A and B are shown apart, each in its own frame.
Chain A
Amino acid sequence: MSKKDLGLLVLILVVGAVVTAINPRFLSTINLANTSNLVALFGILSIGQAFVIITGGIELSVGSLVALLGTLFIDFIAVREMDWPLAFVLIIVLGAIIGFVHGWLITRLKLQPFVVTLCGLLIYRGVARFYTADGTAGFAFGQNFPTLEYLTAGRSGGLPNSFIALIVIAIVMWVVLHRSVFGRYLYAIGKNEEAAKYSGIRTGRVVIAAYVICGVLTALSAIYFAMYTRSISPASHGQFYELYAIAAAVLGGFSLRGGEGSLVGVILGTVLLQELQNLVNLLGIPSSLNFAVMGGVILIGVLVDQQWGVFRARRRMIEAARRDVAGAPAE
């Protein structure tokens, strides 16, 4: 765990302690279970976003995708009475295809990620609303999917199963990002795509793969969100979720220029965001201030981090200078 991640963890614990002191319900089983479920749902979404951000890209369409894919999933199993495992696979494949198309437009046709995914944001939202004729997609009375519900909204030994899923995904993606050849390529491309290309890396393929990963994880979280809310009105479902995901990554130390950030960071970023949401609810702060609190904390977090970086760089320089005086003269 890097110092940055450690700092974030300390911040999470401090905020947690303060909230508990004011309202002990923060630590109640039900609140913790609820919050960890939300952390899981947003965490899966944010990990996907992180893979795109690490390449220096951005994926703005994930909120709309959560709405579109969620609507489709519920429609498939509730209205079209498809077997849920089949629907599950279809949705994941659809997420992968959409990710691939985004990546292809960005790398092969050289469109800017912001533009491509902004168009996606508008298109998928529109399609979702059209699909339900601006109505609501939900389950009929008495419709039950015990296995699916257990896997998505159930609990094992007090832990939400969604949270267990997040842990598994996080471990796998940690290995991919921090230990694999592919992960190294992602960082290299984020730092300097040209130099990576000149080192013989097929940068286009790697970037497309990042968008596919983002699409798959978004599809997965879309299913979780659908099973969590159980009814979806596509006009508002998943709105601003892309911003939650981006915010989690930024809080977790990702640079929007690419090439920087850790998987632990993005998870901690998600935890802090959900903790803040929770804080707003528990401390009786008007919920209309919700976004303002989040924005403020992110701004302060980024500011502190940046200033800390400047401070450390200066200290390093002074230390290096001191070493030079003590040791052999520099070149």
Chain B
Amino acid sequence: MNYSETSFAQSTTAPFLSLEAVRKTYPGVVALDGFSMEVRPGEVIGLVGENGAGKSTLMKILGGVTRPDSGTVTVDGVAHEGLTVEGSIGSGIAFVHQELNLFENLDVAANIFFGREPLKAGPLRLVDRAKLREMVAPLLKRVGANFSADAPVASLSLAQQQMVEIAKALSIRARLVILDEPTSSLPIAETEKLLDVIKGLKAEGISVIFISHRLHEVERVADRVVVLRDGMLAGTLPKDQINHDQMVKLMIGRMLKEREKASEAGRAPGRVALSADAVRTSAYPDRPVDLEVRRGEILGLAGLVGSGRTELARVLFGIDERLGGSVTLEGKTLNVRSAADAVASGIFLVPEDRKLTGILLDLSIAENISLPNLPAHAKRSLVSTGAEIATAEKQKKDLGIKAPSVLTRTGTLSGGNQQKVVLAKWLAMNPKVMILDEPTRGIDIGAKAEIYGLMRALADAGVAVLMISSDMEEVIGVSDRIAVMHEGQISGILDRDDFSQENVLLLAVGKKPKLAHAAGGAQ
């Protein structure tokens, strides 16, 4: 590792990577249009842009997967017309993708040096475990890992798995680490760890490109922000000008009023719609949860991943077995034993994993929307396609689902539009309680605002909305009240006056929040 010091010293001024007038077109689409940027050693670049702005194409070019049509890519002083995959790896560019490429069944060390394991002498080519551990130890130390090299990857949290990926990047002597949406599925505390790792990389002189939809994280960690819009450089923000509104403005070319859309103060809280009394879930079978969601409110449910939020939602929706306690809906005790029971009583869930559980990608928009309420779209048990299409057309119009027709396969839609289809199938019925688990994960900023608008409209129509979210901005910006979960229990409930990132974080780790008035919500 002696090379890094020398090259770092030599190239403090010269950029490690520079792109000049890079253009890439696909049939019918200009993905990148004369895009230029540079990355200096030890610099953290925040790369932001809406979905479809050209980020993925840029990543593909840097990874050597595709070649630009024109323009040059200069890495470490060597100009290329286009990188190859080997060239990209060879010059020290490493990727940590949103979807991690780890073998969950293998341990940390085996993952880091997969395919490059040190071997013992002899014809059997056995893996030299001792040597392997020796090689892995310093890498784990550099990423600040709090787990051992022998830990199976399946036992690690998402953030820890990302650290493994970063350690893997370091093991190939990366000089530029590109993190693609690394925090999109991380809870608050884990995100902190990851941001620390990024700072550590920077301190070692390694450059980082940090791609994220979570602008406040970009704000905190980036030295410079590069904004892409429609394949072009929409603007670059130096450190002192990085702020949320500037970034959004550059991303969409206008100011967004999404945050003001959130509830106005003084909204009269409705009656309690759904209440969970001493409900116990599989996540923490020994800890009862109490929670009340009122009609007409959006209750944000914050907390760390693994705090039991998703499990609570699954119990309320009848997917998981309720291990104790009771659930009442509008004063009546409910015995929800399956999702079908929950749907019949008006409790709907927009699940965390859209593609696996939210919709059927192979079915059309209309078929997805009618699925939970098919008997209502049938005469004598025979499906009426006309009725289905009519319902879907109405939802498509109301929600602004962008698709050629309601018969389009949902798998071909963008993430935001898929999520609207999930919402549409419930809105077409009469929700009493709508539970949304990470409703805007992986969705671009324009569609996000629309989904917030839909949630607010639901609440205004008297629906009780329970929104689980790990996105701090979202929780604070959208909720009327925030309940925070910590290790399987509600550690506190914040009213609007007490909303702050700090308070949510304190409750999430089981500490007392700082309340405006002593009579505030925390128990």
Contacts and interface: CB of A to CB of B under 8 A. Distances in A.
Interface residues of B, number: 36
B372 A321 contact: no
A134 interface: no
B382 A181 contact: yes
B28 A325 contact: yes
Interface in A190-225: 191-192, 194-202
A175 interface: yes
Interface in B295-347: 317, 319, 338-340, 342-344
Contacts of B351: 198
A331 B374 contact: no
Contact of A184 (B52, B343, B361, B383): B383
A39 B371 CA distance: 35
A200 B29 contact: no
B356 interface: yes
Interface string B334-375: 000011101110000101000011111111000110011011
Given A175-B382, A180-B382, A188-B371, A200 B362 contact: no
A329 B28 contact: yes
B27 interface: yes
B6 to A, nearest CB: 46
A259 B375 CA distance: 20
Contacts of B360: 188, 191-192, 195-196, 199
A244 interface: no
A321 B28 contact: yes
A200 B381 contact: no
B441 interface: no
Interface string A128-158: 0000000000000000000000000000000
A3 interface: no
A331 B349 CA distance: 30
A204 to B, nearest CB: 8
B356 A180 contact: no
B338 A202 contact: yes
Contacts of B349: 198
A200 B317 CA distance: 9
B362 A191 contact: yes
Contacts, number: 92
Interface string A298-331: 0000000000000000000010011111000111
A323 B26 CA distance: 13
A129 B358 CA distance: 49
Contacts of B357: 194-195, 197-198
B340 A202 contact: yes
A80 interface: no
Interface string A46-59: 00000000000000
Interface in A167-183: 175, 179-183
A201 B374 CA distance: 10
Contacts of B67: none
Contacts of B362: 191-192, 259
A42 interface: no
B26 A321 contact: yes
Interface in B457-491: none
Contact of A199 (B26, B52, B371): B371
Interface in B219-249: none
A185 interface: yes
Contacts of B27: 318, 321-322, 324-325
A182 B349 CA distance: 23
A33 B200 CA distance: 81
Interface in A4-20: none
B382 A184 contact: no
Given A194-B356, A195-B356, A325-B28, A200 B372 contact: yes
B425 interface: yes
B30 interface: yes
Contacts of B344: 200
Contacts of B342: 200
16 contacts: A179-B383, A180-B383, A181-B383, A184-B371, A187-B363, A192-B360, A195-B357, A195-B359, A198-B319, A198-B358, A200-B342, A201-B340, A321-B28, A324-B27, A330-B29, A331-B52
Interface of A: 175, 179-185, 187-188, 191-192, 194-202, 259, 318, 321-325, 329-331
Interface of B: 26-30, 52, 317, 319, 338-340, 342-344, 349, 351, 356-363, 367-368, 371-372, 374-375, 378, 381-383, 414, 425
Given A181-B383, A322-B28, 17 more contacts: A180-B383, A181-B374, A191-B360, A191-B362, A192-B361, A192-B362, A195-B358, A195-B359, A196-B371, A198-B351, A199-B368, A201-B340, A201-B372, A318-B27, A322-B27, A329-B29, A330-B29
